[in-house]
Amino acid sequence: MPSDQTSRATTNNRLSGKTVQALPTAVATPSYDRARVVTGIVHLGVGAFHRAHQAAYVDDCLAAGETDWGITGVSLRSSDTRDALGPQDGLYTLAIRGSGEEQLRVIGSIGSILVAPEYPDAVLAALADPHTRIVTLTITEKAYLRAAGGGLDTTHPDIVHDLANPREPRTAHGFLSEALACRLAAGIPPFTVLCCDNLPANGATLHRLLTEFATLRDAALGSTGDAGLFSHIADEVAFPSSMVDRIVPATTDADRARISGELGVEDAWPVMTEPFRQWVVEDRFPAGRPAWEKFGVTMVDDVRPFEDMKLRLLNGAHSAIAYLGLLSGHATVDRAFADPAIRSFVDALWAEAIPTLPTDAGLDTSAYTAELAERFSNTALAHRTAQIANDGTQKLPQRIVASAIERLQAGAAPDHLALVIAAWIAACEARGKTLPDNHFTDPLDAALAALGERRTLERVAAVFDLAGFAKGSPERHTLIELVAAHRVHIRQGGVTLALSALGIPPAIPGKV
Ligand code: CS2
């Protein structure tokens, strides 16, 4: 595998290719020769989620002898992951934590990490390399730079920059476009783009954004450049959708110290996760793919039903637990979910969202929600409510707003879904008051703060406009009214009053 661009001398007290040989036997380590692995996948957004999920599946493939599919990780912004993993030869520990047990596994599938702002040319070279046949992404919802309503945010400064400087990109859109243009010019077949973020129809969504970007890029380049990228991306590049699932709480200093103690050498950035993992992928890989199906990945024709079930039931409930939990003083998901009032609310939320899912796709929603309840109760994870609360404007449309609108269209009142939106607004407004400043953040924080004092209904409507919630939908105003009514209850009597208005009694003090 290629060596890290800033790889430093490793020391004997740091996890590395050398010290991994001598770890305690209880720690699983790569059983394959990492030196023989070739990069076949470039991953954009090499954060903790990728390292707990796709990188672990790929590690299984490498161990089974599929040596063409090593990963080059790319950080689009910060150098933190490269700084931690560079001296470790890309190795890190995955700590798989069930309630009461922990398994440690060192993952070897990431051969090198590139920091895009430092070495954009190296990133473009990795993407344009003929051995690279798949580009995966976990860049988080906000990095898709969608305008309120869903299209590309053509006013975003990074998009403006990348259209003006196509050879020196900053965004995922810019890097993918430039790399695909280079491959096209050199006669190298395109890579397959596999989006792994929590967006609805994530492959199709990225495809649409990228064709929009390429149209503008073609126009900006005119006859001087590789105009024609639009039709290449529109017609010849595959963008299968995928549903990814594994809960990955942020690593704490205590986790670092505990894992390093277990290993006997320092791991600067181990990743915490749960035993459960799931990956459902549309099987459209013209340039080939690892035999993921041998390692528990479900390959399908259409991922949409699985994706909607996950976004609306898992992520929707997660956001509900996060905002109601924060307003009720619960710092972690398991503590919030153990609060009987929040638990009853989540059950009712699921009952409200389930009718929006397709009935002919073989989904077993009862088994799914029963398993979610177990996962949310995992006390070993300490998954912070503030972590999930981040980026509500980017997450709520696919988790909550879409189901609420569909329920209204079906003539039902989405009272519980609407309360999640009201709790989000209340939690945002509680920052700097009952919650610490910047306890969680959102890319639209400045614009939200600028809305100033208004009557509740007007304020909720303004928040909807800003975030693009239910844009263009005839049901938008009804949903705003439902949200505003909950917002008034929360202001008057906290979450307790809002829940009791839905028939959910408060938790008995001291019982949570
Ligand atoms: C969470 C997700 O932070 C969040 O918004 O809802 O990261 C969630 O843990 C994953 O999607 C689980 O697969």
Long-range contacts for 154-160 (Cβ within 8 Å, ≥24 apart)?
154/212, 154/216, 159/213
- Output the pLDDT for position 222: 79
Tally Cβ neighbours within 10 Å of residue 250: 14
Q: How far apart are the C-alpha atoms of 425 and 392, rounded to whole Å?
A: 9
What secondary structure does DSSP assign to 375-431, as a single string? HHT-TTT--BHHHHHTTHHHHHIIIIIHHHHHHHHTT---HHHHHHHHHHHHHHHHB
pLDDT of residue 508 exceeding 80: no
List alpha helices for 237-331, DSSP H. Answer: 253-263, 304-309, 316-327
Given a contact cutoff of 8 angstroms between Cβ atoms, the answer to whether 102 and 24 are in contact is: no
Of all protein residues, the one whose alpha carbon is nearest to atom 3 of ligand 1 is 388
Token digits of residue 429 = 């407004």
Residues 100 and 231 in one domain: yes
pLDDT of residue 481 exceeding 50: yes
Report CA(202)–ligand 1 centroid distance (Å): 15
Q: Pocket of ligand 1, candidates 247, 279, 441: which has the most ligand atoms within 8 Å of its Cβ, to mutate? A: 247
Task: Label residue 225 by pLDDT band (50, 70, 90).
Answer: low
28 alpha-carbon distance from chain centroid: 26
Asked if residue 286 belongs to a domain, the reply is no
pLDDT of residue 272 exceeding 60: yes
- Output the pLDDT for position 207: 98
Given a contact cutoff of 8 angstroms between Cβ atoms, the answer to whether 475 and 408 are in contact is: yes
* Least confident range of 19-33, 143-157, 211-225: 211-225
> What average pLDDT does this structure show over 487-500?
97
Asked if residue 258 belongs to a domain, the reply is yes
Ramachandran region, residue 129 (left: φ > 0; alpha: ψ -120 to 50; beta: rest): beta
**Per-residue pLDDT tens digits for 32-90:** 999 999 999 999 999 999 999 999 999 999 999 999 999 999 999 999 999 999 999 99
Q: 315: Cβ below 6 Å to ligand 1?
A: yes
**Per-residue pLDDT tens digits for 228-267:** 899 999 999 999 999 999 999 999 999 999 999 999 999 9
Residues 249 and 152 in one domain: yes
Q: What SS3 state is found at 129?
A: coil
Residues 346 and 234 in one domain: no
Report CA(247)–ligand 1 centroid distance (Å): 6
Cross-strand bridge partners of residue 194: 136
Number of H helices, E strands in the chain: 21, 11
Q: 247: Cβ below 6 Å to ligand 1?
A: yes
Q: What SS3 state is found at 42?
A: strand
Q: 140: Cβ below 6 Å to ligand 1?
A: no
- Output the pLDDT for position 7: 44
Cross-strand bridge partners of residue 245: 278
Q: Pocket of ligand 1, candidates 273, 276, 388: which has the most ligand atoms within 8 Å of its Cβ, to mutate? A: 388
Asked if residue 165 belongs to a domain, the reply is yes
- Output the pLDDT for position 9: 44
Residues 250 and 349 in one domain: no
Half-sphere exposure of 466 (CA within 13 A, CB side): 19
Q: Is the dihedral of CA 348, 352, 357, 361 positive or negative?
A: positive
The residues near 241 (Cβ < 8 Å, ≥ 6 apart) are 195, 201, 202, 203, 204, 282, 303, 304, 307
pLDDT of residue 99 exceeding 90: no
Asked if residue 62 belongs to a domain, the reply is yes
Residues 214 and 344 in one domain: no
Asked if residue 315 belongs to a domain, the reply is yes
- Output the pLDDT for position 373: 98
β-pairing verdict for 298-300 and 192-195: unpaired
Q: How far apart are the C-alpha atoms of 87 and 20, rounded to whole Å?
A: 13
Last residue of a domain, one of 257, 274, 291: 274
- Output the pLDDT for position 509: 60
pLDDT of residue 193 exceeding 50: yes
Q: How far apart are the C-alpha atoms of 401 and 398, rounded to whole Å?
A: 6
Q: How far apart are the C-alpha atoms of 25 and 19, rounded to whole Å?
A: 13
What secondary structure does DSSP assign to 50-105, as a single string? HHHTHHHHHHHHHHTT-GGGEEEEEESS-SHHHHHHGGGTT-EEEEEEETTEEEEE
Q: Is 131 exposed, middle or buried (0-12, 13-18, 19+ CB in 10 A)?
A: middle
Token digits of residue 425 = 């607004």
- Output the pLDDT for position 265: 98
**What are the CA-CA distances from residue 36 to residues 41, 97, 110 (Å)?**
15, 31, 13
pLDDT of residue 165 exceeding 70: yes
- Name the pTM for this structure: 0.95
List alpha helices for 166-315, DSSP H. Answer: 172-186, 202-221, 229-236, 253-263, 304-309
Asked if residue 289 belongs to a domain, the reply is no
Report CA(383)–ligand 1 centroid distance (Å): 10
- Output the pLDDT for position 224: 58
Q: Which atom of ligand 1 is nearest to the CA of 319?
A: 6
Q: What SS3 state is found at 142?
A: helix
Picking from 289, 142, 139, 163, the residue whose alpha carbon sits closest to that of residue 214 is 163
Q: Pocket of ligand 1, candidates 314, 321, 393: which has the most ligand atoms within 8 Å of its Cβ, to mutate? A: 314
Residues 61 and 129 in one domain: yes
Residues 313 and 239 in one domain: no
- Output the pLDDT for position 8: 45
Of all protein residues, the one whose alpha carbon is nearest to atom 1 of ligand 1 is 388
Q: How far apart are the C-alpha atoms of 38 and 111, rounded to whole Å?
A: 9
* Least confident range of 1-10, 62-71, 118-127, 467-476: 1-10
Residues 379 and 237 in one domain: no
pLDDT of residue 1 exceeding 90: no
Residues 329 and 471 in one domain: yes
Of all protein residues, the one whose alpha carbon is nearest to atom 13 of ligand 1 is 245
Q: At what angle do helices 157-164 and 202-221 cross, to 10 degrees?
A: 50
Asked if residue 506 belongs to a domain, the reply is no
β-pairing verdict for 242-245 and 278-282: antiparallel
Q: pLDDT > 70: what percent of the chain?
A: 96
Task: Label residue 12 by pLDDT band (50, 70, 90).
Answer: confident
**What CATH number did the domain enclosing 442 receive?**
1.10.1040.10
* Least confident range of 4-18, 93-107, 307-321: 4-18
Residues 401 and 361 in one domain: yes
Tally Cβ neighbours within 10 Å of residue 327: 22
Tally Cβ neighbours within 10 Å of residue 314: 22
Residues 267 and 328 in one domain: no
Say how many domains are in the chain. 2
Q: Pocket of ligand 1, candidates 315, 333, 371, 424: which has the most ligand atoms within 8 Å of its Cβ, to mutate? A: 315
Last residue of a domain, one of 252, 274, 296: 274
The residues near 461 (Cβ < 8 Å, ≥ 6 apart) are 477, 480
Q: 129: Cβ below 6 Å to ligand 1?
A: no
Token digits of residue 24 = 């305690």
Last residue of a domain, one of 274, 291, 321: 274
Q: pLDDT > 90: what percent of the chain?
A: 93
Average pLDDT across the chain, whole number:
95
Residues 51 and 158 in one domain: yes
Domain that holds residue 198: 4-274
Given a contact cutoff of 8 angstroms between Cβ atoms, the answer to whether 131 and 40 are in contact is: yes
Q: 198: Cβ below 6 Å to ligand 1?
A: yes
Asked if residue 397 belongs to a domain, the reply is yes
**What CATH number did the domain enclosing 262 receive?**
3.40.50.720
